[in-house]
Amino acid sequence: MSRVSDAVHYLDRAARLRLAYRHVAGAGPTIVFLPGYMSDMAGGKASALFDWAASEGRACLLLDYAGCGLSGGLFAEQTLLDWRGDVLDLIDAKVDGPVLLVGSSMGGWLMLLTALALTARDGADRVAGLVGIAAAPDFTDWGFTAEEKAIILAEGQLREETSYSDQPYVTTRAFWQSGEANLLLEAPIALTCPVRLLHGQEDGDVPPEISLRLSAALAGDDVQVTLVKGGDHRLSRDSDIALLVDTVARLTP
């Protein structure tokens, strides 16, 4: 028999791709983990947070975006707003009450977009808090050179080698344009819930300055940025995982 933390379920959607997820019921708010670009719910941070939640009787939801992990679809056919729709669909299907959104890298951008959508639709009480791990809002803007952006637009995609996978990172024109249409950092972000931003000082992919810019842009006052000495982009050392769990625990009374 599988442990609850091992069980994978699927959400079938009319005219949309099937989504894989893991869910454990418990006390709220429900912790929802949003992976980074070309990542999935099998990652170390997601798994550790899910297992902690299960052991503490906390509700938690993990998911694979369409085109990622065990979900249906092709990665290269998805956009930023497609993935926001995946998150909202699973929250609507599996969560009653407030959510605590935890976003890693690109998942930090989706965390903000999801929180804004939920707040506009359901009211501010629907989002109990946000925890960003090397959050990367607006990376289609600051994360590419002018030459790389020109390649994306002219050729339809950019392929880059990465140390995080044996497969190249692929950025499509549709995804890039979706990102550019949903930039957040240049204007006030109308979220007032508690926000905790964790960022490695040695992050070579998302500059720690991004978390500082995000902190300044958020409308709420209960915002804290933690810079982790020696931490890289992954923030996956045992001490980093412990910091993540402790940060989430403090926001889930």
Of 23, 82, 233, 240, catalytic: 233
3-state secondary structure of 125: helix
Q: Is 55 a catalytic residue?
A: no
**CA distance linking residue 78 with residue 75, whole number of Å:** 6
Nearest in space to 49 (alpha carbons), one of 251, 205, 199: 251
DSSP calls for 179-233: HHTT--TTS-B---S-EEEEEETT-SSS-THHHHHHHHHBS-S-EEEEEETT--S
Q: Is 23 a catalytic residue?
A: no
Of 64, 138, 203, 240, catalytic: 203
Q: Is 105 a catalytic residue?
A: yes
The two counts, helices (H) then strands (E), for the chain are: 8, 10
Of 39, 71, 104, 105, catalytic: 105
φ and ψ at 125, to 5 degrees? -70, -15
**CA distance linking residue 227 with residue 212, whole number of Å:** 10
> Does residue 29 have a cis peptide bond before it, meaning omega lies within 30 degrees of 0?
yes
8 with 198: CB under 8 angstroms? no
Q: How many CB atoms lie within 10 A of CB 217?
A: 18
136 with 206: CB under 8 angstroms? yes
Just list the catalytic residues.
105, 203, 233
